[in-house]
Amino acid sequence: MDTKSTSITSLHIRKKLELFLSYWKIILLCLFIGLGVAFVYLRYATNVYLAYATIKIKDEDQSKKIRGIEGTNSTGGLFSDGTNKIKDEIAIMTSRTILEKAAKKLKLNILCFAQGNVKEVEMYKNPPVKLSFFESDSIIHKVDTIFYMKIKSPSEFILFNQPVKSFSKRDENEGKNYAFGDKINTGFGGVVFTPNIGAYAPKVGSDLSIVIKPLSTVVYGYQQSIVVTTGEGSSIITLELKQSNLQKAKDILNQIIEEYNDDVLLDKENVIKVTSEFINKRLNVVSQELEEVDYTAEELQKTNKLTALDSQADLYLQSERNNEARIMETANNLKLIEFLQAEVNDENKASDLLPLNVIDNQNVAQVTSNYNELVSQRDRILKNSSEKNPIVIKLNDEIKAQKENLQNTLSKMQESNQITLNSLNREDARIRGQLYSAPAKERQFRNIERQQGIKESLYLYLLEKREESNITLGMYSDNAKIIDKAYSSNIPVAPNVNFVYLAAFMLSMGLPMGIIYLKDLLDTKIYSKDELIELIKVPYIGDIPKSSKKEKLIGRVDYTPKAEAFRIVRSNIDFLLKNVENRSKKLFVTSTKAQEGKSHTSTNLASSISFSNKKVLLIEMDIRVPKILKYLDIDNLNHKKGLTDYIVDKSIKPETVIVNHPSNEYLDILPSGSIPPNPSELLMNERVEEIIKYAENKYDYIVVDTSAVGLVSDTLLISKFADMFIYVVSVDNVDKRQFVHVAQPLYEENRLPKLTLLLNGVKKGKKGYGYGYGYGSTPNKKKKWYNFFKS
């Protein structure tokens, strides 16, 4: 960027800065108002606190108190299948079921507020008044109402239908008196208000509001406000909740974690209960069968008098004993497989869960554990969803596949054990055939004894499994390990004091500055010399500051900024017209339109020149709307004739129509005279040139007040007589586009000789463009009281 561009940019920034500084009072006022509003807002705004709680979702093995017992152990864990099940746990944790239990436990649908003049404060932990209902919870949890009360005494209160109005006293006659403990009938049944005691007792004269909300609305609100976050692949969960009452936020988060743990424990223990019920049912069946076998053996011994069986044990070969042990084990396995198949194929069960570890087979245990885990996960999701949920549909498919896998496994095991049993039976028949000498009755008894051993073995096995199930029932711990209970920094997160004040500061500064900037951007008026000379490259003769209407004319001894400004203009004119000698200098004053200070400029310019002891003639050539005599305050002179009369009547002499100023011997005035019907044609008369030539040799300066060139052509008709045209531009009056449209062609075509620009009505500091005038002291001017202390 070159030096010129940098200079232009710097100048532009400085102008904008000066523009804003010119409105410093308004900006400062907006700043005070903005900060005041922020202060009032912070004073009466309700603080909002953020509570945190951090937990870790434990794996299946981690949630057991005793790891050594295999029981319902599964080889997989919470994350064993590679899927992110933490999201499922988060969904369960924030489900309506969990939140509803927490809301009921903490009674979040019943709120108590103490009303102040501006805002109300929730009395959460120990409300001054407690509410009891006669109807059931199912009805109360749907109620949506508010009780407004005023504590009249420690034993009485007044109930109102409407809340108390801020900054006003409530008329007690509008309410109804009740005593604490009275039954109050409402649309949803009777209610009873009871006061708290001690430090939490209701204060006499205080206004309270008891709000009862539908439980579903409360639960939905907390579903939206509770934020649960976790890292990718992490089992650490952070719960966040914003509330106006910090203790309430902590209690809610802690209660949600507690309800979640209870729900998960209930799901896990349901699996153990199903297993125990299955084992108890099988024990009853095996116990009856064992009794029947024992009774048969007893009857056989009595009938055949077989009392010395022990002495005959040496008849049996060791191989037979081993073989029979294997037969009992295999028959036992077949029976357990049969029981488990019946359980798997039972479609009328209350639960889809299957008993675990009934058969001592690792493959069956793994398949059954995976099956139960899928069923538990599906049932938990169904608590807050439906069968059409895509996740539920996917889980049902997986459950069906696991069930078919289990059925196939059991069928293969049954076939394998049956083949083994047949082989063992054939081997047993072969061995028994070798014992041909054994009595047939003993062999019959031996068969019964073998059945008796099988039943006893199965019965003992089931007793062992039942004991393991009972132990497992109490071995699970909470699924969510609490890392940090609900806590908070006790610093409100809303409203943020620094942010509110910063926002108030930026808004109260930015809004007025933005309006000022936009107004300046859209403003097409002219305010400064720089703007004027940027529009048209015409010599600039000076600017006149704005003054009060009482100070229309400058004085001979005058040190006001306006008087100094006209002296500067006078000096600039002399410099520009220094080549005009031996005759008067003719100064024509015009403007774009009316009301730009053309006559004001002509009058004061003529006066300023005359104060330098120069003979001046002020001609009022704006014959359409003459104002010169009024400005000079001499319109009451008995002088009826003027310029128009001179032009029309050739018998009138110039000295007849020229008037001398009563208090200024150096200033003469040629009034406009009678207002003609044809001013343009009149100004084309040769008599205009005659009177100007007459004045050329008699006066040092001729100041002509002409018509506005943007409205009529009068000025152009007489422009040839001018030595200089002073084009008056009024600040904040003429549009830039109109000015350029009128002045540019006149200057380029030289239709207004020696055209110069004069800016009128400049305001000090207006839009950052102000000029100071005056130097020294004004004689006889009274000082303000605060200036007496200045030297």
Question: In this structure, what token pair is assigned to residue 35?
Answer: 């900060």
| pTM summary value | 0.57
Q: Are 602 and 704 in contact (CB under 8 A)?
A: yes
| Predicted pLDDT at 67 | 45
| Predicted pLDDT at 788 | 44
| Predicted pLDDT at 167 | 45
| Predicted pLDDT at 326 | 83
Contacts of 777 (CB under 8 A, 6+ apart): 559
Burial of 668 (0-12, 13-18, 19+ CB in 10 A): buried
| Predicted pLDDT at 116 | 73
Provide the CB-side half-sphere exposure for 47 (13 A, CA). 11
Residue 769 sits at φ, ψ, to 5 deg, of -115, 90
| Predicted pLDDT at 78 | 44
Summarised one tens digit per residue, pLDDT across range 749-789 is 899 989 999 999 888 755 544 444 545 455 555 555 444 44
Provide the CB-side half-sphere exposure for 166 (13 A, CA). 6
Alpha carbons 747 and 713: distance in angstroms, whole number: 15
| Predicted pLDDT at 215 | 93
| Predicted pLDDT at 439 | 57
- Alpha-helix runs per DSSP H in 199-358: 215-225, 246-304, 318-345
Question: In this structure, what token pair is assigned to residue 786?
Answer: 């605060």
**Mean pLDDT, contiguous 10-residue spans, the chain (791 residues):** 68 80 90 93 88 84 48 42 68 90 92 82 89 89 91 90 64 85 90 91 89 93 92 87 90 92 78 73 75 70 55 57 81 83 78 77 83 83 79 84 85 87 82 57 66 75 73 62 85 87 93 89 84 88 86 86 92 92 92 89 93 93 86 71 89 89 91 86 90 92 92 88 93 88 90 92 63 51 49 39
| Predicted pLDDT at 417 | 86
| Predicted pLDDT at 415 | 87
CA distances from 486 to 52, 435, 504, 643 (A): 5, 79, 34, 98
Summarised one tens digit per residue, pLDDT across range 367-377 is 888 888 888 88
